[in-house]
Amino acid sequence: MTRPSDTDHSPAHILVVDDTPANRYVLATTLRRAGHQVTEAEDGTRALDLLRGPGPLPEIAIVDVRLPDMTGFEVCEHIKNDPATAAVPVINISAAAITVDDRAQGLYRGADAYLVEPVAPDELLATVTATLRYTRARRRAELLAERLHLLNRLTLALYSAADARELVKVTAEAAAVIFRCSVAALLTTPQGSPLVAHTWQDEDGTARADAPQVHSTAAWPQRRDPSGRAQPPGTDLPCLPPELKDPARRRTVIGRAKAERPPVVIVTSADAVTTPDDEQLLTQLTQASALALEALRSYSEEHALALTLQRSFLPESLPATPRADLAVRYLPASERTEIGGDFYEAISTPAGLVVAVGDVAGHSLDAAMVMGQVRHALRAYAAEGHPPQVILSCLDHLLASVEPGATVTLCVVLIEFGSDTLHVANAGHLPPLIRHPDGTTSYVHEHGPLLGLGLAHPPARRITVVPGSLLLLVTDGLVERRHEDLQHSLATLAAVAAGVPADPEEACGLLLERLLPDGSDDVALMAVRLNAVRPD
pLDDT tens track for 370-387: 887 888 899 999 999 999
One-letter-per-residue 3-state SS of 205-222? CCCECCECEEEECCCCCC
Closest CA to 265 of 175, 154, 147: 175
Q: Is residue 154 part of a domain?
A: no
Closest CA to 280 of 156, 139, 178: 178
| pLDDT above 60 (res 141) | yes
CA 312, distance to chain mean position in Å, is 31
Residues 122, 168, single domain; the answer is no
Q: Is residue 16 part of a domain?
A: yes
Residues 456, 322, single domain; the answer is yes
* pLDDT at site 403: 82
Last residue of a domain, one of 142, 173, 205: 142
Residues 81, 180, single domain; the answer is no
Q: Is residue 155 part of a domain?
A: no
Residues 22, 104, single domain; the answer is yes
- Element (DSSP H or E) covering residue 462: strand 461-464
Q: How many domains does the chain have?
A: 3
Where does residue 101 fall: left (phi above 0), alpha (psi -120 to 50 degrees), or beta otherwise? Answer: alpha
Where does residue 356 fall: left (phi above 0), alpha (psi -120 to 50 degrees), or beta otherwise? Answer: beta
In this predicted model, what pLDDT tens digit does every residue of 23-55 receive, in sequence order?
999 999 999 999 999 999 999 999 999 999 888
| Dihedral sign of CA atoms 344, 346, 347, 353 in order | positive
Domain that holds residue 236: 161-305
State how far the Cα of 451 lies from the Cα of 146, in Å rounded to an integer.
Answer: 58
Cα–Cα distances in Å, from 331 out to 31, 325, 502?
A: 74, 21, 22
Residues 321, 217, single domain; the answer is no
* pLDDT at site 4: 45
Residues 181, 101, single domain; the answer is no
* pLDDT at site 307: 65
| CATH number for position 132 | 3.40.50.2300
Last residue of a domain, one of 287, 305, 323: 305
Q: Is residue 150 part of a domain?
A: no
Q: Is residue 149 part of a domain?
A: no
Residues 134, 203, single domain; the answer is no
In this predicted model, what pLDDT tens digit does every residue of 274-330 receive, in sequence order?
888 888 888 989 999 999 988 888 877 766 666 666 666 677 778 888 889 999 998
The residues, ordered by sequence, that sit 6+ positions from 438 with a Cβ below 8 Å of its Cβ are none
| pLDDT above 90 (res 196) | no
- Element (DSSP H or E) covering residue 264: strand 264-269
State how far the Cα of 356 lies from the Cα of 375, in Å rounded to an integer.
Answer: 9
* pLDDT at site 312: 66
State how far the Cα of 429 lies from the Cα of 298, in Å rounded to an integer.
Answer: 35
Residues 296, 332, single domain; the answer is no
| CATH number for position 428 | 3.60.40.10
Q: Is residue 147 part of a domain?
A: no
* pLDDT at site 218: 46
Instruction: With H, G, I as helix, E, B as strand and everything else as coil, classify residue 425.
Output: strand
Closest CA to 96 of 16, 18, 15, 14: 18
Residues 300, 326, single domain; the answer is no
In this predicted model, what pLDDT tens digit does every residue of 387-422 receive, in sequence order?
999 999 999 999 888 888 888 999 999 999 989 999
* pLDDT at site 105: 92
Whether omega before 118 lies within 30 degrees of 0, making that bond cis, reads yes
Residues 329, 282, single domain; the answer is no
Closest CA to 473 of 329, 339, 373: 329
Residues 355, 487, single domain; the answer is yes
State how far the Cα of 260 lies from the Cα of 510, in Å rounded to an integer.
Answer: 43
Residues 483, 338, single domain; the answer is yes
* pLDDT at site 452: 87
Phi, psi of 127 (to 5 degrees): -65, -40
Q: Is residue 1 part of a domain?
A: no
Last residue of a domain, one of 305, 340, 367: 305
Q: Is residue 536 part of a domain?
A: no
